[in-house]
Amino acid sequence: MIDAITERATGFKPKVALVLGSGLGDFAADVKPVATIPYAALPGFPKTSVESHAGKLVLGHVGPTPVAVLQGRGHYYENGKADVMAGAIRAMAELGCETLFQTNAAGSLRMDMPPGSLMAISDHINFTGVNPLFGTVRGRFVDMIGAYDPELLKKLLAVAKDEDVLCHQGVYIWFSGPSFETPAEIRAARVLGADAVGMSTAPETILARHAGMKVVGLSLMTNYAAGLGGDTLGHEQTLAVAREASGKVCRVLRAFVERY
Ligand code: HPA
């Protein structure tokens, strides 16, 4: 399964895998590369159809830390397959990654987290009715308590503080997309305890926990969620805000990974 990776980076053993979300691909430039491999060359990796997602695996170092950067992810909404990232996540575990660091662009359900704010993910809600482990037998009853590793969460918040970057923490709710949520859905999500909403991340967390990896997550608020900001919603805004805040996000990621 991972031969296509190991033959391009012999002996390389990453410790941390990172998933770069919409508009957050810049972090790949912070990696001193050992190998860069397009997903198309990797069996089981997604064929990404979102233009802002590059679809490349970058292996290399950030400071002293060996990393594997997944620049771009597949989403459930692309083909209705919740396990679209299963091959990629399992490959990261097989390569030796202890931790999966997920990033994403999200809508904010909190007025104290305007567009441009960062939120460390403390937990998630998956009420989509689907699960990436459908059809899996071995180990499928995955414990999701502490899925977002409490120690790594603390470390992320400490690193952000050291970097002088304000970082909130909260609960991420996964909606299937690709349409944005309705204002009524967002009011319901708020009652359920969500702080941020997005179309990714939760399935990869489930897959990573199933594969024995720790997970840490960081959301960038690119808009107020439907009905909270008054404006219309669109992918262009997601990209524009993400691009603008990308420097701040990269700084936190770099500091976290260097000190890992
Ligand atoms: N909803 C879902 N996904 C998103 C949003 C949103 O408001 N913003 C960025 N990704």
User: Residue 181 catalytic?
Assistant: no
Q: What pLDDT digit, counting tens, does each position of 64-74 carry?
A: 999 999 998 99
Half-sphere exposure of 178 (CA within 13 A, CB side): 12
Does residue 152 have its Cβ closer than 6 Å to ligand 1?
A: no
Q: Name the residue of 103, 125, 222, 224 whose CB sits within 8 Å of the most ligand 1 atoms, as the mutation to test its pocket.
A: 222
pTM: 0.96
Q: What does the pLDDT read at residue 239? A: 86
Nearest to 20 by CA among 45, 53, 42, 44: 53
User: Residue 235 catalytic?
Assistant: yes
Alpha-carbon gap, residue 38 to 57, rounded angstroms: 6
Does residue 106 have its Cβ closer than 6 Å to ligand 1?
A: yes
* Position 156 pLDDT exceeds 90: yes
Does residue 173 have its Cβ closer than 6 Å to ligand 1?
A: no
Residue nearest to atom 2 of ligand 1 (CA): 198
Residue 108: give its domain's CATH number: 3.40.50.1580
User: Residue 126 catalytic?
Assistant: no
Q: What does the pLDDT read at residue 133? A: 98
Residue nearest to atom 9 of ligand 1 (CA): 106
How does residue 155 score in pLDDT terms, banded at 50, 70 and 90? very high
The contacts of residue 217 (CB under 8 Å, 6+ apart) are: 101, 102, 103, 104, 120, 121, 148, 172, 201, 205
Alpha-carbon gap, residue 171 to 123, rounded angstroms: 5
Does residue 233 have its Cβ closer than 6 Å to ligand 1?
A: yes
Percent residues over pLDDT 70 in the chain: 97
Domain of residue 177: give its range.
Answer: 2-258
Residue nearest to atom 6 of ligand 1 (CA): 107
Alpha-carbon gap, residue 101 to 19, rounded angstroms: 6
* Position 50 pLDDT exceeds 80: no
Number of domains in the chain: 1
Q: Which residue has the tokens 């060359």?
A: 41
pLDDT, mean over the chain: 95
Does residue 211 have its Cβ closer than 6 Å to ligand 1?
A: no
